[in-house]
Structure 1
């Protein structure tokens, strides 16, 4: 008996069926069977299924004598399935890499629930990147598995069957099958969710659902929705114990019917009045007391549908659209006038002479003071005091900027003046400014590249979605200098971001502080973060997952903190694209949210060890020469979506944990700072931190501003002494104290 039965109905999908079946059979989790149902398709679908069955014994072909529609085809596949759990795919869909492994792991974590609800992304037929709206109902916070009444919001998710993995015995016990007609997934989904004893969620895109061009226009098949909702309410009537769900499903019905009617491209024009009349009759028959009160605008839409006021609905819809357009028009007009004035101002500034004594800096598109541009700004003021520096940041970040540095808000007239007339422009993101003759543009980037970047993202649609590669290459053409920390960074960037720039392989400027800080400063940082003097502080900094629309913490930080014990404190820092703290509901007092802290370098200094996955902060931390532990629990999915330049399993900076249990074990056994971990870190540091001796920023300024070639020599790694962590000082051997001199006694002489 296989673990999974993947059921694929196929009808007129010959162009996509190969990719669909391959996506299942090439999963890293192989304990599966593929039940492919040829719904009497007039094209080559049947032959394709037979071809796959001939070469892989896990494929079980099912051929129907006549076309019966996707619901009946799924039922036929379900009758042949023998797996513990059942998944459904349409013939044009694909499983994402590692999806079955993620599903299997989540089922095990949550105690084998009846239903697991996971995410999907829609792939437009036009070839655009997949789109997945945020679905907070899938966040795996709180207890799991749970009863349906604990999360009624799941009923508002798309009713697509390919978003659910169901226990086969549960479906058979409840007699749940797909009805005929279109919108057949509506009654099936509600019946599944309402009768399940236990449900769990997985916040991961497991399926890419292909939207097809044919059949996407107006059609009367959408009238089937009324019969499907009649089945839903008949199912509730048959099961009195589910009566409490009637008000919730009534509102869901009204929302669905209203959405279908509001979409102008789904219903034939001649049938719109009929559709509204049928919707009115359905809602009148099944209106239930206690229905949740929706917002006013939604109540109005529901009332018009329920009353069948077709012309009134259309009139209000058109009037509302016109009002919104008018309001947007006024806002756009004001914005256009301001933009025109700023463009004129910028053009005037571009024709005025450059300020030879000005330098402007920016990091992360207008975030606070820090990273490599921050280290260089300080070095400019120290080593080139004749230059006046300015920092571009949004007003909420102005408090992070030193007093001696001018503050500039993005988009203001001062902003355009600074970009147009400053002699030096320093940034860490590839923004394409207008490059004037005589202007010097320094690109610092924000760390050593581990994840694929630049032109390599062309083959990574999940990671490269929305990237304008022409604009990216145009920006590279404006750079005079690119700051590089090591040979690896130099070779990668010059290949994936080609340009006429000169690479300054001088080290990572933001890491200079690691060699310059003192133990007293580390102590003050720890006190400011509330870290007890005796505690071991772990900085946990995971990276962004391109294959997830909604980011979640890969670790249960509450559980990790509990198992590690009171001697450990976790400093949790989310990636800047995460959008919020890592553990917003953390209960342990030993978890400190440092996502909003302005300086990751200060967090590194305050910590005793780093736990990360694919974040480039590991290269910086190696220069600090403190323990690093990698938590790599989704390596296959991450490699498929983004890819890495360094094989971390072959060349890690320290111990590697593949699960939460292994991570806890590494710390509780002391392996995190053992001799083997130290050896790995030493080799990693030698390769990726050859120039991080505390003077990288100085070397950049001397070369860029003064044109010096005889730069300060690099201190060899063996002679560097980065400030030790508090834990290292606490576990250092006690110094030998000489005994006080005393006169020799007779016994001594004898």
Structure 2
């Protein structure tokens, strides 16, 4: 008997079915059966199902003789299920990696409840992924399992069958089945939740709910949307047959009215000319199931009144008035914004007529971010070595808490910011072009590039359109012409930037100011950082930071992080900084994979880690200054090099051990090669080339040169006297685990 019976009905989803089935069969938790139901689909769905059944014995194909619809097709799958738990998945949706492992662990933790509710994310055809907006209702705080009365907010979640796992014995005992017709999930979801004796939640995205550009039922204009009335009749009939559930009638009545309004107001569901008839049916439904005492928020009372009285013309009038009001509001806001721009422009021009203040420095970073990077290191050095100079930082208000107390906070685009932009004698930024800046004679702009250029940059990207995207090279050179100094860390960076970003600036090859902390931090500081990140004492923390694939619109999966830490054992922890184009946090099935993709300070993560795993990221040049192990891993080397272009191929001049596959990466850490003698020799050669000036005093040298004019050449600490802060965890002398010679299959 398998743990899970995953039921996938398929009808006219041949373009998506293969990805759906693969997402189930490649789960790291293999104890499952996949019941794929071909609902007499006229396309190739049946053939795809048979193909998978021939390759994997866990696939149980079901071919229905006639098309019966989504609900009855699920019933056909349930009739053949033998697993402990039922999991439903539509043929165009997918399970996320390790979803069933997380579900199985949560079921075990909560004592096998009747229903486990988990989260989902909408996956749009553009590549964007957006998590459920009410995911907070799935928070795993408090006792579990529980009854619906303890967490009634679960009724406010999307009423679908595929965001839950159901104990099969419970479903069969209560006789739950899906009805035919549209909105078949409604008379399934509510009765199941109300009847379940034990419920648990899993605050993790387990399903990607595909938002198709065309073809989805909810985006199909049809008279069949009138079937929603019959589905709610079934819900209230269930309440009539079970008096013990009467307490839920007011809540379900309000959910029904909200759902009917959704169907009525969506422009792509009801056929033209049928809205008045729909609202009349809704009025009859309202009167038939009206429940006195059902709470209605003040903001929705007007909408509920429209349903109660069937006021179709009133609704059209109100909608027209609302549209006119919104348009008037937009015009008013546009006029105010225009007036504000005119006034601020006049203010900036006036400030440029006043003398420059040689005791003022303005700092900013890309995207008006918080305190960090080279500008932060230089700002700190200004306060230490030029205390007579005032510093100000321009960033968004929500990031002001990241700034030191002694630094003035400015909001970009305000009068105070424009004053500083016009009057400050010194500007420090890692941006190519400072928005709004009209550089004055006598102003000094110090540019700090974002990293060592291993891949093509600047004008060389003209021949790499996939990586350049929408780069405006004319504006790029306008920004370069404003630079007076460019801070670099090594000769390769100096020569590359002077060629691909040609200008009249002076290059200060003084080292990387942002890595000064690697030499000034103490072991106690490192211990505090690790504790804040949740790294256990004695654990080996691996920072995983691959380069973004900016030539791709969709994310690329480079490592199965859960599998890596599972194979390496409990001593290892992964700090994952894998790029997330959707901005959502990475889901993890264990506490040994820590998502740090949103952490604001990359240097902090370097200090807290014991080793770095990367591919083409310039971070390896910064990290080499720590003299800690670096391991390279990439399975798309040729694709990256072809699309992005490389000045330096790390595989020909590596900073440590090299892995061409996930299993080889596991073996490198398991066998100890990540910190072996050869890796140490490679890292030393890499440091000599890319970290010749990184000694903890780079920011001081820049400040003394630019602000104080004390010297023109770097005065660095001799290599033999440089002592970066050591890693917290010691390297193992023996292999942690032994691996079989062949890759394991999960």
For residues 84-123 of structure 1, what are the structure 2 equivalents within 5 Å? 84-123=84-123
Contact 1:3 1:83 in 2 (8 A): yes
Contact 2:515 2:622 in 1 (8 A): yes
Q: Deviations over 1:61-101 (max 9, x none)?
A: 11111111111111111222222222222222222233223
Distance 1:468 1:369 in 2: 27
Q: Is the alpha carbon distance of 1:578 and 1:111 closer, same or farther for their aligned partners in structure 2, counting shifts above 3 Å?
A: farther
Distance 1:696 1:359 in 2: 18
Q: Which residue in the other structure is 1:2 paired with?
A: 2
Contact 1:350 1:420 in 2 (8 A): yes
Q: Deviation of residue 247 (structure 1)? A: 1.2
Q: Deviation of residue 160 (structure 1)? A: 2.2
Q: Is the alpha carbon distance of 1:416 and 1:85 closer, same or farther for their aligned partners in structure 2, counting shifts above 3 Å?
A: same
Q: Which SS does the other structure have where 1:161 is aligned?
A: coil
Q: Deviation of residue 329 (structure 1)? A: 3.0
Q: Is the alpha carbon distance of 1:270 and 1:99 closer, same or farther for their aligned partners in structure 2, counting shifts above 3 Å?
A: same
Distance 1:46 1:578 in 2: 33
For residues 212-251 of structure 1, what are the structure 2 equivalents within 5 Å? 212-214=213-215, 216-251=219-254
Q: Is the alpha carbon distance of 1:358 and 1:543 closer, same or farther for their aligned partners in structure 2, counting shifts above 3 Å?
A: farther
Q: Deviation of residue 184 (structure 1)? A: 0.4
Q: Which SS does the other structure have where 1:470 is aligned?
A: coil
Q: Deviation of residue 16 (structure 1)? A: 1.9
For residues 394-409 of structure 1, what are the structure 2 equivalents within 5 Å? 394=396, 407-409=409-411
Contact 1:430 1:472 in 2 (8 A): no
Distance 1:160 1:500 in 2: 58
Q: Deviation of residue 376 (structure 1)? A: 0.5
Distance 2:490 2:154 in 1: 49
Q: Deviation of residue 448 (structure 1)? A: 10
Q: Which residue in the other structure is 1:459 paired with?
A: none
Q: Which residue in the other structure is 2:513 paired with?
A: 509
Q: Which residue in the other structure is 1:257 paired with?
A: 260
Q: Is the alpha carbon distance of 1:54 and 1:724 closer, same or farther for their aligned partners in structure 2, counting shifts above 3 Å?
A: closer
Q: Which residue in the other structure is 1:207 paired with?
A: 208
Question: TM-score scaled to structure 1, two decimals?
Answer: 0.67
Contact 1:106 1:202 in 2 (8 A): no
Q: Which residue in the other structure is 1:306 paired with?
A: 308
Q: Deviation of residue 298 (structure 1)? A: 0.8
Give the one of 291, 314, 317 matched to 1:315.
317
Give the one of 354, 359, 362 matched to 2:364.
362
Contact 1:622 1:684 in 2 (8 A): no
Q: Is the alpha carbon distance of 1:402 and 1:270 closer, same or farther for their aligned partners in structure 2, counting shifts above 3 Å?
A: closer
Q: Is the alpha carbon distance of 1:189 and 1:508 closer, same or farther for their aligned partners in structure 2, counting shifts above 3 Å?
A: farther
Q: Deviation of residue 117 (structure 1)? A: 1.8
Q: Deviation of residue 188 (structure 1)? A: 0.9
Q: Deviations over 1:190-238 (max 9, x none)?
A: 1221222223223325323232513624321111110000000111111
Contact 1:360 1:422 in 2 (8 A): yes
Q: Deviation of residue 383 (structure 1)? A: 5.8
Q: Which SS does the other structure have where 1:269 is aligned?
A: coil
Contact 1:610 1:621 in 2 (8 A): no
Q: Which residue in the other structure is 1:272 paired with?
A: 275
Q: Which residue in the other structure is 2:36 paired with?
A: 36
For residues 613-632 of structure 1, what are the structure 2 equivalents within 5 Å? none
For residues 350-429 of structure 1, what are the structure 2 equivalents within 5 Å? 359-363=361-365, 365-366=367-368, 371-380=373-382, 389-394=391-396, 407-416=409-418, 418-419=420-421, 425-427=427-429
Distance 1:352 1:141 in 2: 58
Q: Which SS does the other structure have where 2:162 is aligned?
A: helix
Q: Which residue in the other structure is 2:738 paired with?
A: none
Q: Deviation of residue 39 (structure 1)? A: 0.9
Q: Which SS does the other structure have where 2:207 is aligned?
A: strand
For residues 43-192 of structure 1, what are the structure 2 equivalents within 5 Å? 43-125=43-125, 127-134=126-133, 135-192=135-192
Q: Deviation of residue 343 (structure 1)? A: 5.2
Give the one of 321, 326, 329 matched to 2:328.
326
Q: Deviation of residue 514 (structure 1)? A: 6.4
Distance 1:241 1:617 in 2: 62
Q: Deviation of residue 15 (structure 1)? A: 1.9
Contact 1:36 1:60 in 2 (8 A): yes
Contact 1:10 1:41 in 2 (8 A): yes
Q: Which SS does the other structure have where 1:270 is aligned?
A: coil
Q: Deviations over 1:562-583 (max 9, x none)?
A: xxxxxxxxxxxxx9x9999xxx
Distance 1:482 1:185 in 2: 61
Q: Deviation of residue 622 (structure 1)? A: 10
Q: Is the alpha carbon distance of 1:108 and 1:198 closer, same or farther for their aligned partners in structure 2, counting shifts above 3 Å?
A: same
Distance 1:649 1:269 in 2: 66
Q: Is the alpha carbon distance of 1:379 and 1:579 closer, same or farther for their aligned partners in structure 2, counting shifts above 3 Å?
A: same
Q: Is the alpha carbon distance of 1:542 and 1:713 closer, same or farther for their aligned partners in structure 2, counting shifts above 3 Å?
A: closer
Q: Is the alpha carbon distance of 1:613 and 1:286 closer, same or farther for their aligned partners in structure 2, counting shifts above 3 Å?
A: farther
Contact 1:485 1:506 in 2 (8 A): yes
RMSD between aligned residues: 6.0
Contact 1:624 1:722 in 2 (8 A): yes
Q: Deviations over 1:276-322 (max 9, x none)?
A: 1111111222222342x222121221122112222223322332333
Q: Which SS does the other structure have where 1:225 is aligned?
A: helix
Tell me the number of residue pairs that the alignment of Structure 1 and Structure 2 aligns.
Answer: 637
Q: Deviations over 1:503-540 (max 9, x none)?
A: 97755534535655799xx89x999xxx9xxxx999x9
Contact 1:370 1:599 in 2 (8 A): yes
Distance 1:474 1:146 in 2: 62
Unaligned runs of 5+ in 1: 455-463, 549-553, 555-574, 581-596, 628-644, 653-675, 729-750
Unaligned runs of 5+ in 2: 459-465, 549-553, 556-560, 562-578, 585-598, 630-649, 660-673, 731-746
Distance 1:446 1:408 in 2: 22
Distance 2:184 2:334 in 1: 43
Q: Deviations over 1:427-483 (max 9, x none)?
A: 356776368789876555789999xx99xxxxxxxxx9xx99525988876466776
Q: Which SS does the other structure have where 1:87 is aligned?
A: strand
Distance 2:601 2:18 in 1: 49
Q: Deviations over 1:24-82 (max 9, x none)?
A: 22333322222211111111211222222222222221111111111111111122222
Distance 2:69 2:57 in 1: 26
Distance 2:110 2:21 in 1: 28
Distance 2:247 2:677 in 1: 62
Q: Is the alpha carbon distance of 1:314 and 1:409 closer, same or farther for their aligned partners in structure 2, counting shifts above 3 Å?
A: same
Q: Which residue in the other structure is 2:290 paired with?
A: 287
Q: Which moved more, 1:28-37 or 1:361-370?
A: 361-370
Distance 2:129 2:728 in 1: 47
Distance 1:278 1:649 in 2: 71
Distance 2:96 2:272 in 1: 38
Distance 1:230 1:544 in 2: 53
Q: Is the alpha carbon distance of 1:697 and 1:82 closer, same or farther for their aligned partners in structure 2, counting shifts above 3 Å?
A: same
Contact 2:611 2:628 in 1 (8 A): no
Distance 1:441 1:52 in 2: 61
Contact 1:163 1:207 in 2 (8 A): no
1:193 and 2:193 correspond: yes
Contact 1:625 1:681 in 2 (8 A): no
